[in-house]
Structure 1
Amino acid sequence: MEPAGVDGQTRRAVLATSAAVGSVAVAGCISGSEREASDETGDTDPYTVSMAPVGEVTFDAVPENVFVTFPQYADMMVALGHGEAANTLFSPDMAGSTMDAFYDHLEGVDLEWEGLSNPLEQGLVEEELYELDSDVHFLDPSYVLTTGGDWEEADLDEIAETIGPWIGNFHSGVHSEPAEAYTDDYEYYTLWELFERVAAVFRERERYEALEDVYDDLRSHIESTLPPENDRPTAARVTLEGEEFYTYHLNESGFWQADTRPLGARDALETFEWSDDWGVLDYEAMAEADPDVILHLWGITPDYSIESVRERLADHPIGSDLSAVQDDRVVAGGMRYQGPIMNLFQLEMTAKQLYPDHFGEWPGHTTAEPYPEIPTDEQLFDRQRVANIVTGSL
């Protein structure tokens, strides 16, 4: 049921979906015709972008008012020079502060997140979507259906038709199962494949390619510098909550692991299995795994104090015996909701935390402080190069 006063007909001339939300998506990378539309046509010419599970979406102009949920999309928009278009942000105090911690090292790069509302704080509210009147919604409709509430596929179609389309792909995070309505249309993407499609939305092919070159250089350097597998530490990616550890696999597919999988550490939790997006283990199970390094997910965000985590582990009768605790290798990990800029910093951070002898010492992180200063000759990617790409001064 749509709010009173809203015309049921498609009323946005700027944007129009060329397929219903549940339509079959075009497989593979962005096609040559889409690249040409992004790079060679004028601003008033329609262009098409495809992302599973929504399929093809046709835009008549670059979006200027964008509904943003998880911060990977906000980071992508900043990277493409369109951060100002965001009208919402999931957990803005946490996500915004964390992105600021990275952006502080990039001249001229920032996100004005103060004042943005959290669109998922009370669950997705239809009335708020109409009030925001967004040109596009960066949220996977499958996510909406799998998180409960009263939403149905028809409601999602109505929003796409009367306000603006959905574009998002949540289940690529850990290759989880989509909602039944989208099972046939779903496709899993890497972080940088998702970024490519978001870049197509904003017609920013050149910025995307320039940043991908930075990533490729960093990835190549990491892969050529890694020690033999037998010489790599065991590591566990966890979040400590009370007496339990929320756990993740380091090397599984999905963009949630985009800052750990390329580093190829031995997963201390490899033998543990769980059916949800993450597992939950107690101290006894963690002692059984006994990782050399504990990467505390969200540790670089203001919501967790890595100093407090270390103290709690050291004060626990089982935790104090963990090798990572005794060897002072409990470190602040990044965010799983990472866009391209965040991914560059988090790859550098994790490389130094896991392999200080190969990538230089990690100087440590202080809660609520920016990403630490790293000497220029020990940085794994060029900050100025990234800043120039983002600000358009390359």
Structure 2
Amino acid sequence: MPRLSSLFSPKFTTLLLGASALALVISIILFPDLAFQSSLQGLQLWWKLVFPALLPFLILTEMLRGLGALHALGVLLEPLFRILFRVPGIGGFVMAIAFTAGMPAGAAAIGGMRKDGQLTRDEGERLLAVSHLLSPVILISVVGVGFLHSAPAGLALAVIHYGSALLMALAHRLRAERANEARSVYDTQPGERGFLSRFWHTLEDARSRDGRTFGKLLGDAVSSGVQQLFVIGGYMMMFSVLLQAIPLTGMIDGLTSIVVAVVSDIGQGEAASLLTALMTGIIEPHLGAYAMTQQVGPPGSASSLGYAALSALLAWGGLSTHAQVRSFTAATDLRFVRFLSARLQHGGIAFVLTLLAWRPLLQYFQEGAAVSTWAPIAAWNGGWSLEQNQGWPFISPMMLQFGSVLLVMLVLSVFAAFLFRRGRGRKA
């Protein structure tokens, strides 16, 4: 970790970003037509898939923070998330948004919470690691039904994606800094006031400290959400151009020659296609998922190794989203190197889990009623296309899913608080 920290020092990061910007400018000058078409592809992906998925949740996060509801919700979720992950209850809201809207919505929320002092550095870094997820819409609808023409395959990928993230979160919990985890973020003891009393007290206190009128708050929330989305769109367009420029440098050809020389039973064209798909997935998750699904065979008959590589790329998340996370947390002391380490861990766990559980999970979902559950999206069985499909119709289902996830968390948290209070009473 110390070596990685020195590698990603501010000076090196500045140098790397400067070199990337220079490479981007050179690519645009040398290949203007290609740069234009690539940027349009990134813009299309942003407008049709990312913008509708993130905008409601970015606005909602800012609104709830200003109204004090975000702080109060943390009180209700405190028992569950302190027990499970050793983070404040407000982390439940982050996880609900990350699970519903996908990356980088969690990072946007965590950056604001850390600046407000609602999370310690260690808590913020662990939440940032586990909240960098793809949404069920992407995994099941786009990758599963759209790219692979198989809802069971999408469900299996989703189970592995979220299961590996949970395993990583539990591993990080065991290494949590106990000195910082012992306190509640609200600095209140359970015996000081009742559960609901603390909820109302926190709500009123946070609302009074914010002080903005509802109209002002709404305007700020919309402005902030749109501004964040423009940042995301800019990164997506930039990395789309870089992605198309890489093959022109001869890098893929050089790597292909090495792979063909080392692996005797793979052809030149097959190696080039596979390396291009892997490179695409390393840089951009959505385009990488599409490229990788074109390399693996049908879910029922293909080797698990190709799907393990696909799972690892989905867990990695792509350098494009990593840059977005960096921009949302740049004003905080959250260490980016720890986030990158978590991405490698998530990818490794997802790779191993896919090798072990791909066929059993696929068979289970194929034999069960899972396909009928996702019948409303079966119209995409012809394949996903940015020209024909978009994410706007999914806004209402995603908001319903978000509310359902929060409700389940609240019920479990109340149950956990009841058990804790009951156990404390018996000891007394």
- Superposition TM-score tier, normalisation by shorter sequence: under 0.3
* Bigger RCO of structures 1 and 2 (CA < 8 A, at least 6 apart): 2
- Structure number having the greater strand percentage: 1
The TM-score, its normalising length taken from structure 1, stands at 0.26
| Structure holding more helix per residue | 2
Whichever of the two has the greater Rg, that structure is 2
